[in-house]
Amino acid sequence: MERIVFLVDMQSFYASFEKVCRTDLENKPVVVAGDPKIRSGVILAACPTAKQWGVKTAEALWEAENKCPDLVVIKPRMQAYLNASVEIASVLEMFSDEVEPYSVDEIFVEMTYSLEPFGGNPVKAAARMKRQIKRMLGVNARVGIGPTKVLAKMACDHFAKKTPEGIFTLSQDNLQQKLWPRSIGDLFGVGKRMEYHLRNMGIRTIGQLARFPLEQMKKRWGINGELLWRTAYGWDPSPVTVDTHIRRKGIGHHMTLPRDYYTWDEVKVVLRELSEEVARRARQNGYMGTTVSAGAGGHDFDFPAGFHRQKKLEDYTNDGRVIYDAAAELFHEHWDKYPLRSVGITLDQLADDTFRQLNLFHPLQDRETLNQTVDKLKERFGSGTLLYASSLTDAGQAQLRAQKIGGHYK
């Protein structure tokens, strides 16, 4: 039996949800955008009416307003979108018991053994799924169908969004005809930097990558090169897993700064905040890690600067102070004092924190007790309950972040 996977994507989710909540916006061009005063005035979602004016997701708010003078701008309400996403997942669970959230507005559904009520017809099942979501939440969905998760994802992103019915199937039968002629940048897993390198190698389409000798890809890019080569053929053995957000490889936080940070005294404030937040999330999920990754981005898009490095720790940890010390060491070694506009920290190589190796030279009991106490206070009274004094300075962002989810207001 051939495997059947759906990727269900909500059309212009944030903007569409806002129009459902406010009937007075039904025929108006609506966008959801961040606050331009804190350097996040970027379009997060644009409804179809706004897109008819040429408004695009991820463009600057001022650019969108120049295109559409009557644009209705709404600040994001992330908690409401998350709640709606959970409801959508519940709708999809009526069709299959294997449902995997991929993002707030994208969900994988394993349909291989759930098509009998639809006569074994995936398109019929997808159409019923779309109608049910529309009926219960008022938003439109698109469905990509494929024998693997990666093909379902690309079917949705590159084809389903452009069909009248919002459904498209990408399989081994039409892979070469439909997917291979597309730009190499359309291949899942290829970012702008990788696209640049591949084009310099003469690889400009997905088909050219598929025909490129595998051994040369592995020699140049290692396991990542082989992964991209396999993706071009749609080969992806990964299952649809209901606990995808429970089993993790790393826990991290990335922050776009409200202004350029020039000095170490400013940078270390947000590094400490990020380290404590990463540590708290690791403890909440029952993890420790042995590798700390830190990165930074420069302020000038025309002359990009930045770094991303990692440091192996002596022992497993989920303590913010240990994570901060490692991140600070990486910054001292790799930051050339150029103005920063973004910073990020990740704790990698995770393991269960139920047991740990004791170290006679680094007693942890007092720190663990303190961390548990702080976690309980923040869980009860909010993440902004206890802060380092440095977070009260102009460089601090912890108080503002406590009011947000995913970088946007709740």
Q: Could you tell me which residues are annotated as the binding site for Mg(2+)?
A: 9, 105
Question: Which of 389, 271, 394 lies closest to 321 in space, CA to CA?
Answer: 271
Task: Report how far apart, in Å, the C-alpha atoms of 97 and of each of 89, 141, 143, 242 are.
Answer: 10, 19, 17, 8
- Residue 383 — left, alpha, or beta (φ > 0 → left; ψ -120 to 50 → alpha)? alpha
Number of H helices, E strands in the chain: 14, 14
SS (H, E, C) 318-367: CCHHHHHHHHHHHHHHHCCCCCEEEEEEEEEEEEECCCCCCCCCCCCHHH
Instruction: Tell me the C-alpha distance between 157 and 153, whole Å.
Output: 6
C-alpha–C-alpha distance, residues 75 and 93, integer Å = 30
Q: Mark the binding-site residues, compressed into ranges.
A: 9, 105
Annotated catalytic sites, by residue?
Answer: 106
Tokens standing for residue 198: 């591949």
Strands across the sheet containing 340-352: 250-261, 340-352, 287-298, 306-317
Q: Could you please report the per-residue DSSP string of 273-324? A: HHHHHHHHHHHHTTEEEEEEEEEEEES-SSS--EEEEEEEEEEEE--HHHHH
